[in-house]
Amino acid sequence: MTSRNNSLRGSLLLLLTAFIWGIAFVAQSVGMTYVGPLTFVAVRNLLSAAVILALLPFLDKVRKVPEKKGLAGHFKDKNLLVGGLLCGLFLAVASTFQQTGILYTSVGKAGFITALYILLVPIAGIFLGRRLRPLILAGVALAVIGLYLLCMTDSLTLNIGDLLLLLCALFFTFQIMLVDRYSPIVDGVRLSLIQFVVCAVFCGIPALIFEHPDLAAILAAWQPILYAGVLSGAVGYTLQIIAQKNTDPVIASLLMSLESVFSVLAGWVLLGQRLSARELAGCALMFTAIILAQLPERKAKKEG
């Protein structure tokens, strides 16, 4: 029963993550009017790391983390360091491809192509020897159809932005699989912190070389950077790491892909944007896919 409760808790946390990320798409688009993609990714992740570091003592107390010798004592775990480095590198590449791709394509296509990790994660799982339940496969298929109806109002022709977003989906797949690998064996909050620091450094150095970020421009973009850094980053990605500890990576990818649904629903509720019958059908299929994938597998009846 405890395992089932942990799984439900993980699913609810990933739903919250998808909601936060859905609204963040707007912040990412707005922020690009002030700074370049590398600068935006670097600054938001630097802010995310600062928030996690500031809250670390409080979070340790709430989670009843055993005390160790000094702050550095927690970071001597080799798995934590390796996991944080790898997650941060793949997050940096995926985020940079996404931010750059948004410049060259529509938001709808960006949401659809990015969320194709819901197909890539189970494919990656097969290569790692994971068995996929029929209900999960059906959920993935429904989710892809739902995403298409929801996001794809343009033609299927690919431009440079679409190709960058395909690469983004690929690297997000690796990041999800790495989180699945390391989150059960290390401290999730510290894994998130290292991930943000690595991502900020990995994007910050080329940003200084190629984009020459201006402090005035960064300050002008403070609102989208604040949302992306604090909520989408510090809260969203940390929730992802904590939740994936008890959630199958394929189901996790399905839940996180609901960010596309929440972004459309946010536009409907907050901005008064009307939803077409096609978009409503897409939302319905997405939610149906999630419910389908969450259903327990029916046990085979014993003979005799």
Residue 303 lies in a domain: no
Residue 5 lies in a domain: no
Residue 300 lies in a domain: no
The pTM (predicted TM-score) of the whole model is 0.84
Residue 170 lies in a domain: yes
Residue 11 lies in a domain: no
Share of the chain above pLDDT 70, in %: 86
**Candidate from 7-11, 98-102, 109-113, 197-201 with smallest mean pLDDT:** 109-113
pLDDT tens by residue, 71-128: 555 677 899 999 999 999 999 999 999 999 888 876 667 777 788 888 888 888 888 8
Token representation of residue 19: 């909601």
pLDDT tens by residue, 238-287: 999 999 988 888 888 888 888 877 777 766 676 566 667 887 888 788 87
How many domains does the chain fold into?
A: 1
Residue 13 lies in a domain: no
Residue 273 lies in a domain: yes
Mean pLDDT comparison of 1-15, 60-74, 118-132, 238-252, highest-scoring range: 238-252
Q: Which domain holds residue 219?
A: 18-63+75-294
Residue 175 lies in a domain: yes
Q: Is the pLDDT of residue 147 over 70?
A: yes
